[in-house]
Amino acid sequence: MKSSQALRIAGTPAPRLDGIEKVTGKAIYTGDIELPGMAFAKILRSPLPHARLIHIDASKAEGLSGVFTILTLNDLAGLNYQYGATYKDQSIVAVEKVRYAGDPVAAVLAVDEATAEEALALIDVEYEELPAVTNIEEAIAPGAPLVHETESVKTELRGSRYGAPEKFKGTNVCYHFGYSRGDAAEGFKKSDYVFEDTFRFPKVQHYSLEPHVSIAHFEQDRLTVLSSCQDPFTLRDHLAEIFNLPLSRVRVIVPYVGGGYGGKLYVKTEPIAAALSWKTRRPVKLALSVGESFKTITRHPARVRIKTGVTREGRLTARECEIYMDTGAYADAGPRVTQKAGYRSLGPYRIPQVKIDAYSVYTNTVPAGAFRGFGAVQVTWAYESQMDLIAERLGMDPLEIRLKNLLKKGEAYTAGDTPVDCDLKEGLLKVAQALKWTRKPSKPYTGKGLSCCVKDAGGTYKIAGATVKMSSDGSATLLTGTVEIGQGSRTALSQVVAEELALDLDQISVAQLDTDVTPYDVSTSASSSMTVMGLSVQRAAQDVKRQLLRAAAKILGERADRLTLKDGKVHARKGQGISYSKVIAGCFGSRAGEIIGKGIYQDKKSKKAVLGSPTTFWEVGWGGAEVEVDPDTGVIRILKYISVADVGKAINPLQCLGQDEGAVLFGLGHTLLEEMVYEEGQLLNPNLIDYRVPTFRHLPEEFSSTLIENGNGPGPFGSKGMGEGGLLPVASAIASAVSNAVGVRFYDLPLTPSKVWRALQSKK
Amino acid sequence: MKSSQALRIAGTPAPRLDGIEKVTGKAIYTGDIELPGMAFAKILRSPLPHARLIHIDASKAEGLSGVFTILTLNDLAGLNYQYGATYKDQSIVAVEKVRYAGDPVAAVLAVDEATAEEALALIDVEYEELPAVTNIEEAIAPGAPLVHETESVKTELRGSRYGAPEKFKGTNVCYHFGYSRGDAAEGFKKSDYVFEDTFRFPKVQHYSLEPHVSIAHFEQDRLTVLSSCQDPFTLRDHLAEIFNLPLSRVRVIVPYVGGGYGGKLYVKTEPIAAALSWKTRRPVKLALSVGESFKTITRHPARVRIKTGVTREGRLTARECEIYMDTGAYADAGPRVTQKAGYRSLGPYRIPQVKIDAYSVYTNTVPAGAFRGFGAVQVTWAYESQMDLIAERLGMDPLEIRLKNLLKKGEAYTAGDTPVDCDLKEGLLKVAQALKWTRKPSKPYTGKGLSCCVKDAGGTYKIAGATVKMSSDGSATLLTGTVEIGQGSRTALSQVVAEELALDLDQISVAQLDTDVTPYDVSTSASSSMTVMGLSVQRAAQDVKRQLLRAAAKILGERADRLTLKDGKVHARKGQGISYSKVIAGCFGSRAGEIIGKGIYQDKKSKKAVLGSPTTFWEVGWGGAEVEVDPDTGVIRILKYISVADVGKAINPLQCLGQDEGAVLFGLGHTLLEEMVYEEGQLLNPNLIDYRVPTFRHLPEEFSSTLIENGNGPGPFGSKGMGEGGLLPVASAIASAVSNAVGVRFYDLPLTPSKVWRALQSKK
């Protein structure tokens, strides 16, 4: 490995390659694309949270001029119409029941969106309303109405890890993750104190600037889909299965994506677009509104009961954790998120005895799935809030109790998993220092809080391939399955290629992502791209380099291992060096041909690892906040926010800072503002007037983000992935600061002014 | 290599994979594509064959509503605006002079084609007319007006092989190929007879059903071009050079192509489309009319003087050949075509002493370039016509004299080149047998002729890469740079993949050709795809197979070399075998990932070979015709046509027959119908009313095509390329039959009724 000092392009704050295109509005997103003969789709959604479908009559709608077809349950014969990220519990359009207000019942394809919209109103649907469950409590109550009949779910299980044990038959529980170490009950007995607290996390939405959009086109027995998605190869798997096609006959192309945050993983509305094209053989565009994306996928609301035993010196001795994750009407990635929530509820601390149970439960609400922080956001909110409560109850300093219990670098998180790969204290102390840490407020109504969170990152079991093509002039094109969702992957991955091949960034292009030609990649998720895809890209570039050096060695009459690359030339120890184009011309005997390098990355499997595969790296988020609470209004002002991220090596420090700042701002959303509100099974605020997301106005008055670069990540040049860590400590740090400022402790989010004000009132 | 008997899919007449799409009109050609914001271009062409450009005023046209911009010589600063397949003698639009009637002078970009057309008329151009040369005689006459000032041509020479010797300075000769063996003059002295004849070949056009069309789009400093072209990588080279871009920033995508025949090789109108987009940053479509394609590229008219010495027994002893090729106003591929014409003028016969000189000359006519049969069509017409004349003069049978002189399998064509790779007599005897050969007509006005032609095929120095991606379900996608121009390459190359990987054809897709992602390939030309690309594809598939077997070996606990592929499974000697999807799942630990195989083919270079690289294989065309001539009208009826092609192994016999029949029909065009007629420098017939191409009505009344499969071609499973051979003997075989029928010998083409009638009249 090159030493950091020797890096030329990796490690520099190169401007984003797609920046100018994007700020000038020239960048092509799926919604910008028009195909000849394209028709437009709209979805008819259930108005009821839970009902049996009695009858659908689409004849009036079909008769409307400009309508090409209507897709209903009557069209699904011959398709494997049930699908899902983990369980096949969702269908292209509703078949027997609708399970949430917003569940797709039918879809119209018409000459334009207005006609399609008009036709929706002409479809008659007869429902038999059923009692609904819209939150965890209702869902797990004995005798609760069932969102899915357990039998049907059970027979659709995927893989043994997601097995639903027998005892949940006839309940709304669709998944259970259990983990234990030692004997928690025994641990509690030996503890000086045992504290038990329950925390709740609200239902929130990703709100990508670009709602879900896809274009599907069946031509003969071949399906092409352009989609704003994060995992085109997984989407291809799902579509191939639904339409009974070999994978080689399904092509997924991904133009620019306007934000994903997990909400564009797996399969969303693409099957509807594809089924309409399958019926009509026309290109079909299905573009959701913001309100419809709110009715497509959300984050899991959670209830986390956490019971922790401590010694009187503040050492953690035992923990029991019971987590319920509300996965909404369909499992989507719920089981995986729940598994991770369970696994991540251990936190960054040394706890000898542990017992964890995490459950996914169905409710009659919008499905919940993957979302930046995947299961960690809910549990970090809980365990870090409880750490403060424990400190308070023991009369200890929140920093002190954390430092006392933090895992050391090299220590096991769980047996068989990758040991902790950084110094957890280092970051926390940086936060404390920047905050001028003290729990003694200098001014009334101000306070400070800090937090340290960790997640196993990189995703469970990743596979990523990449190809680098060097053309006869020495310039290179990168084929990568990582989706540019705004995170800057094109730039950072190009920097890796530029570094390995001693090229300038303007010599490198990134090819359009197209499953037909791009090497396989599982998904753009879990902070994995810099590490997992980064390694694959680096290996592909190194493969080009090897071939280049071998060819140059012949020409120069020198051993390949004595040659180096610099400024687009191969250099022997002496002499001027020869340009890559001359080497390639030498190789092919003319100014033609190219050098193709392949790279692949594959996680290890291990039976010893709790999740079957050791974590790729540990992503750590340290955060600290200073707040001021207005006692008259309940408004929380963020005076200062300090974020520290462990990135191993920042391949592009500018982008890393942007990612970290963005993560914090994201965290401010669910901490202060965001919550999807239900009343009688109806979502009341699926729009940006009633559902507030953070804006520039919500930025902390003083905001700093610091990158720790210890160079020992597993990615290229010692890098680790990042982009989620910064999100994790926000809620607990701010809630801690609020508690410090006004002496009120919150157990649920968001900390809206009215909630804070009411709490202050009831305290008086 | 598998024996022919064992083949399962290669060797079968599989229906064309793109057939249904094409016959139902669903296949997407460049002209079908619309991009958002696309503008339309039209070209202003010179009305004069030769003139100096004095002044262009585009202001009126620019003022027309709907016009975005006008491209003239004033825009070219900053571009490397001169380009060309061999010499950079052509410019995007005319700069100092116009050199043929039709030469692009300016281009309009407008909101639609009608507006662009309207604006053309508003551009004022002042010309100073110059004397023109419009045929070989005028061009080589002493003191002829110069199309190009020699100096400027000379300084633009590409590569040493295309050097213009000093003695041509100040003439219209732009290229000379000389080859000699032994001493021809000495040979003639020792011959019993020396015959000298001169043959002419007319100017004809490719007439692809789809005229030239391209879409260019500059975005930032990146150019994307969709084009109906045969060599996207070469086009990319040219565009990168013109616009000063690295190759990685030029992307060429090739949708379906509606015929090429060489007329879509190198670079044609793409620089105009690209320059308009470079000026406006809009997507630009430039679609030529049929008439405009006639003014873009043609086949070389030729004058071939051939002097051959023979013994009285009819053995050839010496040959001198002087070939003039009229390359029109710009060299395009003229020098290469001329080189090949020279080299191919030796013919399939053993001639000890040879001297050949072939010249390209400029004239003020439409440029001539590559065209199916590339230089061979003109010289085979000459040498095979002369063989008949020699036989006649010696009182020999035309079949007998040929059999006496044909090269044997394994014999050298020239020293250092690949020896003749098939039995030339075999095919000729097949033709004779099918024709029931005799020179004694059974009926008046009927006659028979036959012909044997050979060309070095596969192109000079080919490089081709291919990739096969096998997805996790075992289906495969092929990435190949061979353009599907109607020849059936997708189907035949997929058959090679299917054969190697024991898959069905419907498991295989061919990815869109896109220089960003498709491996490099020089061009789709010279009957090369089945051999050159075929080998590359086969190697890529074998690379997949190797990886698949290696992975299966681990799972099955068996040595890889004891495993075989059958029906999508890997089989050990015993047991059921395991599916590819299971092998891949075993490889990656989940139903994910893919196996990528790479293949490459590269011709050898050899200083001993006359053309620097031994021919990939020899393409042979044998043809025989029986005709009836109507003495009252001069109309030639083709009673029977027999074509025999050496294909080594027909990977898809149905397509091979289609190619061979198409080649014969093509040959009927220039033999009977086609000729571009000039008068005072003006092309009189650039349309399908006045320029006739063969239709079904022109099919021979009895028409048979036979494939010789001796299995010893260098391509996959013993295949050779084909598709041009059938074209070569048509003119000479028919002219010979006409001579046999009515005793009149023609030295120039086409054999139109009026020409035949006049000859009959003057004979009386």
Per DSSP, the residues of A238-257 read: HHHHHTT--GGGEEEEE-B-
- Once rounded to an integer, what is the mean pLDDT over residues A486-496? 97
Question: Taking CB atoms and an 8 Å cutoff, what residues of chain B touch A246?
Answer: 471, 473-475, 506-507
Residue A484 has pLDDT above 70, yes or no: yes
Cβ contacts of residue A574 below 8 Å, gap of 6+?
A: none
Q: Which two tokens stand for residue A225?
A: 């889909």
What is the structure's pLDDT at A612?
Answer: 86
Q: Is A240 on the interface with B (CB under 8 A)?
A: yes
Residue B4 has pLDDT above 60, yes or no: no
What is the structure's pLDDT at A291?
Answer: 96
- The answer to whether residues B630 and B530 belong to one domain is no
Q: Least CB-CB distance to A21: which of B220, B247, B512? A: B220
* Contact in structure between A459 and A611 (CB atoms under 8 Å): no
* Contact in structure between A470 and A544 (CB atoms under 8 Å): yes
- The C-alpha of A329 sits at a distance from chain B's nearest C-alpha, in angstroms, of 27
**Would you mind telling me the total number of residues written for chain B in this entry?**
764
Strands A222-227 and A250-254: parallel
- The C-alpha of A216 sits at a distance from chain B's nearest C-alpha, in angstroms, of 16
Q: Which of B329, B448, B466 is nearest to B388 (CA)?
A: B448
What is the structure's pLDDT at B164?
Answer: 47
Alpha-carbon distances, residue B386 vs A467, B345, B391, B399, B408 (angstroms): 55, 12, 8, 13, 21
What is the rounded CA–CA span in Å between residue A574 and residue A577?
A: 8
Q: Is A194 on the interface with B (CB under 8 A)?
A: no
CB contact (8 A) between residue A247 and residue B471 = yes
Cβ contacts of residue A289 below 8 Å, gap of 6+?
A: A211
What is the structure's pLDDT at A160?
Answer: 32
In a domain, A22, yes or no: no
Residue B229 has pLDDT above 80, yes or no: yes
* Contact in structure between A659 and A487 (CB atoms under 8 Å): yes
Interaxial angle between packed helices A270-280 and A232-242, expressed in degrees from 0 to 180 and rounded to the nearest 10: 50
- The C-alpha of A90 sits at a distance from chain B's nearest C-alpha, in angstroms, of 21
What is the structure's pLDDT at A386?
Answer: 98
Q: Is A197 on the interface with B (CB under 8 A)?
A: no
Which residues share a beta bridge with B82?
B91
What is the structure's pLDDT at B607?
Answer: 86
In a domain, B310, yes or no: no
CB contact (8 A) between residue A246 and residue B602 = no
Give percent helix, percent strand, percent coil of chain B, each to the nearest 5: 30, 25, 40
Residue A761 parent element (H or E): helix A753-763
What is the Cβ-side half-sphere exposure of residue B674, based on CA atoms within 13 angstroms? Answer: 26
Parent domain of A518:
462-602
Residue A323 parent element (H or E): strand A316-328
Question: Taking CB atoms and an 8 Å cutoff, what residues of chain A touch B594?
Answer: 465, 519-520
DSSP string, B511-572: PPEETTTSPPB--S-TT-IIIIIHHHHHHHHHHHHHHHHHHHHHHHTS-GGG-EEETTEEE-
* Contact in structure between A571 and A577 (CB atoms under 8 Å): yes
Q: Average per-residue pLDDT in chain B?
A: 94
Strands B51-57 and B302-310: unpaired
* Per-residue pLDDT tens digits for B263-279: 999 999 999 999 999 99
| Alpha helices per DSSP H over A318-458 | 334-344, 376-394, 398-405, 424-435
- The answer to whether residues B491 and B590 belong to one domain is yes
- The answer to whether residues B672 and B714 belong to one domain is yes
- The answer to whether residues B39 and B22 belong to one domain is no
Question: Taking CB atoms and an 8 Å cutoff, what residues of chain A touch B593?
Answer: 463, 465, 520, 602
In a domain, A433, yes or no: yes
Q: Which of A349, A345, A348 is nearest to A305 (CA)?
A: A345
Residue A52 backbone phi and psi in degrees, to 5: -90, 140
Neighbours of A42 (CB within 10 A): 24
What is the structure's pLDDT at B524?
Answer: 95
Q: Is A21 on the interface with B (CB under 8 A)?
A: yes
* Per-residue pLDDT tens digits for A87-130: 999 999 999 999 999 999 999 999 999 999 999 999 999 999 99
Residue B120 has pLDDT above 50, yes or no: yes
What is the rounded CA–CA span in Å between residue A544 and residue A550?
A: 10
* Contact in structure between B468 and B544 (CB atoms under 8 Å): yes
Domain stop point among B294, B317, B347:
B294
CATH code for the domain of B126: 3.90.1170.50
- The answer to whether residues A228 and A340 belong to one domain is no
What is the structure's pLDDT at A661?
Answer: 97
In a domain, A137, yes or no: no
What is the Cβ-side half-sphere exposure of residue B379, based on CA atoms within 13 angstroms? Answer: 31
CB contact (8 A) between residue A516 and residue B508 = no
Q: Least CB-CB distance to A220: which of B20, B469, B592? A: B20
In a domain, B390, yes or no: no
In the chain, the amino acid numbered A362 is Y
Q: Least CB-CB distance to A475: which of B248, B475, B517? A: B248
Query: Based on the structure, what is the number of domains in chain A?
Result: 3
* Global confidence as pTM: 0.95
- The answer to whether residues A348 and A249 belong to one domain is no
* Per-residue pLDDT tens digits for A129-142: 999 999 999 999 99
What is the rounded CA–CA span in Å between residue A26 and residue A384?
A: 44
Interaxial angle between packed helices B730-742 and B376-394, expressed in degrees from 0 to 180 and rounded to the nearest 10: 30
Residue A728 backbone phi and psi in degrees, to 5: -70, -45
Q: Is B522 on the interface with A (CB under 8 A)?
A: yes
Residue B354 has pLDDT above 60, yes or no: yes
Radius of gyration of chain A from Cα atoms? 27
Q: 3-class SS at A596?
A: strand
Q: Which of B176, B143, B169 is nearest to B155 (CA)?
A: B169
* Per-residue pLDDT tens digits for A265-275: 999 999 999 99
Q: Is B33 on the interface with A (CB under 8 A)?
A: yes
- The answer to whether residues A43 and A57 belong to one domain is yes
What is the structure's pLDDT at A168?
Answer: 75
* Per-residue pLDDT tens digits for A73-92: 999 999 999 999 999 999 99
CB contact (8 A) between residue B237 and residue A514 = no
- The answer to whether residues B680 and B722 belong to one domain is yes
Residue B53 has pLDDT above 70, yes or no: yes
Q: Least CB-CB distance to B516: which of A246, A506, A511? A: A511
CB contact (8 A) between residue B519 and residue A596 = yes
- The C-alpha of B416 sits at a distance from chain A's nearest C-alpha, in angstroms, of 18
Residue A293 parent element (H or E): helix A290-294
Buried b (16+ CB within 10 A) or exposed e, A271-287: bbbbbbbbbbebbbbbb
Nearest CA in chain B to A612: B589
* Per-residue pLDDT tens digits for A437-476: 999 998 999 999 999 999 999 887 899 999 999 999 999 9
DSSP A611: T
Q: Which two tokens stand for residue A517?
A: 């030609």
Question: Taking CB atoms and an 8 Å cutoff, what residues of chain A touch B463?
Answer: 588, 590, 592-593
CB contact (8 A) between residue B477 and residue A516 = yes
Question: Taking CB atoms and an 8 Å cutoff, what residues of chain B touch A609?
Answer: none
- Once rounded to an integer, what is the mean pLDDT over residues A554-583? 93
Residue B5 has pLDDT above 90, yes or no: no
Strands B104-110 and B67-71: antiparallel
CB contact (8 A) between residue B509 and residue A596 = no
What is the structure's pLDDT at B154?
Answer: 36
Q: Least CB-CB distance to A26: which of B219, B465, B514? A: B219
Q: Is A33 on the interface with B (CB under 8 A)?
A: yes
pLDDT band at A150 (very low <50, low <70, confident <90, very high): low
- Once rounded to an integer, what is the mean pLDDT over residues A730-759? 97
First to last CA, chain A: 62
DSSP string, B22-47: HHTT-SPBGGG---TT-EEEEEEE-S
Q: Which of B422, B399, B301, B462 is nearest to B729 (CA)?
A: B399
What is the structure's pLDDT at A162?
Answer: 40
Residue A704 backbone phi and psi in degrees, to 5: -135, 145
What is the rounded CA–CA span in Å between residue B622 and residue B645?
A: 7
What is the rounded CA–CA span in Å between residue A153 and residue A169?
A: 9
Q: Is B469 on the interface with A (CB under 8 A)?
A: yes
Domain stop point among A602, A626, A653:
A602
Residue A468 parent element (H or E): strand A463-471
Neighbours of B313 (CB within 10 A): 10
In a domain, B341, yes or no: no
- The answer to whether residues A354 and A389 belong to one domain is yes
Residue B380 has pLDDT above 80, yes or no: yes
- The answer to whether residues A562 and A624 belong to one domain is no
Q: Is A472 on the interface with B (CB under 8 A)?
A: yes
What is the structure's pLDDT at B150?
Answer: 59
The least confident of A209-223, A342-356, B606-620 is B606-620
In a domain, B413, yes or no: no
Interaxial angle between packed helices A653-668 and A730-742, expressed in degrees from 0 to 180 and rounded to the nearest 10: 50
DSSP string, A254-278: E-B-S--TTTTSS-SSHHHHHHHHH
- The answer to whether residues A468 and A453 belong to one domain is no
What is the rounded CA–CA span in Å between residue B558 and residue B556?
A: 5
What is the rounded CA–CA span in Å between residue B83 and residue B501?
A: 43
CB contact (8 A) between residue A590 and residue B463 = yes
- The answer to whether residues A543 and A590 belong to one domain is yes
Alpha-carbon distances, residue B291 vs B98, B258, B267, B269, B364 (angstroms): 18, 16, 18, 14, 18
Q: Is B220 on the interface with A (CB under 8 A)?
A: yes
CB contact (8 A) between residue B34 and residue A34 = yes
Q: Which two tokens stand for residue A99?
A: 């399970």
DSSP string, A208-234: -SS--EEEEEEETTEEEEEE--S-HHH
* Per-residue pLDDT tens digits for B396-408: 999 999 999 999 9
What is the rounded CA–CA span in Å between residue A512 and residue A507?
A: 16
In a domain, A146, yes or no: no
Q: Is B588 on the interface with A (CB under 8 A)?
A: yes
CATH code for the domain of B741: 3.30.365.10
In the chain, the amino acid numbered B197 is D
Q: Average per-residue pLDDT in chain A?
A: 94
Residue A2 has pLDDT above 90, yes or no: no
Which residues share a beta bridge with A601?
A464
- Once rounded to an integer, what is the mean pLDDT over residues B335-361? 94
Domain stop point among A254, A275, A294:
A294
Residue B153 has pLDDT above 60, yes or no: no
Q: Is B237 on the interface with A (CB under 8 A)?
A: yes
* Backbone dihedral region for residue A37 (phi beyond 0: left; psi -120 to 50: alpha; all else: beta): left
What is the structure's pLDDT at A152?
Answer: 43
* Per-residue pLDDT tens digits for B635-662: 999 999 999 999 999 999 999 999 999 9
What is the rounded CA–CA span in Å between residue B583 and residue B585?
A: 5
Cβ contacts of residue B144 below 8 Å, gap of 6+?
A: B133, B138, B171, B172
Q: Is A196 on the interface with B (CB under 8 A)?
A: no
Residue A169 has pLDDT above 80, yes or no: no
Strands A82-83 and A193-201: unpaired
What is the structure's pLDDT at A241?
Answer: 97
Dihedral sign (CA B94, B96, B98, B99): negative
What is the structure's pLDDT at A5?
Answer: 56
Q: Is B22 on the interface with A (CB under 8 A)?
A: no
Residue B506 has pLDDT above 50, yes or no: yes
What is the Cβ-side half-sphere exposure of residue B656, based on CA atoms within 13 angstroms? Answer: 28
pLDDT, greater one: B166 or B688: B688
CB contact (8 A) between residue B463 and residue A512 = no
* Per-residue pLDDT tens digits for B82-92: 999 999 999 99
Residue A211 backbone phi and psi in degrees, to 5: -65, 175
Q: Tokens 């043809």 belong to which residue? A: B623
What is the structure's pLDDT at B589?
Answer: 83
Question: Taking CB atoms and an 8 Å cutoff, what residues of chain B touch A474?
Answer: 246
What is the structure's pLDDT at A40?
Answer: 98
- The C-alpha of B558 sits at a distance from chain A's nearest C-alpha, in angstroms, of 23
pLDDT band at B587 (very low <50, low <70, confident <90, very high): confident
